[in-house]
Chain A
Amino acid sequence: MKYALFLGCTVPVRTMAYEISTRNVMKKLGISLVDLEDFGCCGFPLESIDHDTYLSVAARNLAVAEAANVPVMTMCSACNGSLLKANLAMQDKTTRDKINANLKPINRQYNGTTVVKHAARVLYETMDTIKEMATPLNLKVAAHYGCHYTKPSEIYEDFEDPEVPYSLEELISAVGASPVPYENKKQCCGGSVMGIDESVSLEMVREKLSHIKKAGADAMVLVCPFCDVMYDINQKRIENQAGEQFGIPVLFLPQLIGLALGLTPDELGLKLNRVSVRKLLKTLGDGNEQE
């Protein structure tokens, strides 16, 4: 299987660990990735400014992939939601004609045939292979779904009930780790409120981190770069502000899976994680020695 890796805006600059681990884990699983240099912003922030501009900017990426005749794999859940929502809208001929008129000056046209899939969804579909290849990880892991990985459900063709999501827990179990239940699991990271009112989004993050800490998880796992910015990059700052210590390592799903597949910390970009994963790796190392 081959996909065009859609980097979006945040991943290639702020969360390179996600990109490194995704590329290496996909390679290990025999899934090939190509890079299309004309991909740009997915259009997500523009939906708040002007609907047609959003659709045109999203459809531009879909057109780039369509011309290369390759399905798209996203890493960012907001990119995934934005592209899928636009894809659904572009199935309507009137909308498509209107939006394609905006793409004409840049010599692009979208006919509505591109397939878009989240990297986590691809991993879910590859779960049998992951199970076969995995060395079990002796870890307690809290799954953070975020929002656009499961919602709005109409763009995800009822893959899983967003009120009772399970795919990440299944993947955590597939690598021999234990999924940890915690209070208010589906809570949003608050990332999109960050530019409007920092104190509101940081409070949302603080609540989540304290629920995860209370549940006794060794790490949290997530599937969106902006959630990572909130929980990993901002964790120290929230600790300082709230006077509360969390010390919760934040792993991207491919980092967790990669550890079970025997990839090295460098191949998973683990040294780029802000909250130290040293203790976590030591726990794993000790566990393996005992076996």
Chain B
Amino acid sequence: MKKKEIINMDELDPQFKYEIASQPGGEHILKCVQCATCSSGCPVASVSDKFNPRRIIRMAVLGLKDVVLKEDFVWYCAACYTCSERCPQDVRIPDLMAAIRNIAVKEGSIHPAYREQGRLIGELGRLYEVTEFENERREKLGLPKVKEKNREIAEIYGCTGVGKVVL
């Protein structure tokens, strides 16, 4: 995360925190007291300074919407729930990070890795392709064949509008 010493108040969006709070998973954002229990136990933060959950929450509450949505640090959360178990304020950080990602997707800033995963799941019904080759291998190992494609997820995408984003 790039540190910027002076924040221009005109660039802040005071509504951003309420937008997050109205998104499923983001409801508890305003309970955060910045104690940093999340960051101190975070396995990603322990190996990379790209990710600092306490800092992201502070930036979001402050209204740094553009930075939070456009830079890729919210996508670094491993959703391991270590912080969630420890947070004294029940902020539910992994769900909060997912809520912020959902907003980023709506604003056109989906991470390419997630767009690709979403596309594969929509087109195949699963993340990894199963073809005749995989099924033959499975049969040789004594495993039952797996249905190669499942079209139902693409139909769900049609209902929720995600198809337009990832397909």
Chain A residues in the interface with B (C-beta under 8 A): 7-10, 12-14, 16, 19-20, 23, 35, 37-38, 40-41, 45-53, 56-57, 60, 101-103, 105-106, 108, 147-148, 151-153, 162-163, 186-188, 190-193, 195-197, 200-201, 203-204, 207, 269, 272
Contacts and interface: CB of A to CB of B under 8 A. Distances in A.
Given A40-B125, A200-B76, A49 B85 contact: no
Nearest to A269: B141
B103 to A, nearest CB: 10
Contacts of A14: 128
A49 B48 contact: no
Contacts, number: 169
A196 B155 contact: no
Contacts of B158: 105
Given A7-B146, A46-B162, A151-B82, A188 B43 contact: yes
18 contacts: A8-B126, A16-B141, A45-B117, A45-B121, A48-B114, A51-B23, A147-B79, A151-B82, A151-B84, A152-B85, A186-B82, A187-B43, A190-B44, A193-B44, A196-B76, A196-B111, A197-B50, A203-B48
Contact of B113 (A9, A19, A196, A269): A196
A41 B141 contact: no
Interface residues of B, number: 61
Given A20-B142, A103-B156, 5 more contacts: A13-B128, A40-B150, A102-B156, A162-B85, A201-B78
Nearest to B42: A188
Given A10-B127, A49-B162, A147 B105 contact: no
Interface string B130-167: 10001001100111101100101101111111100110
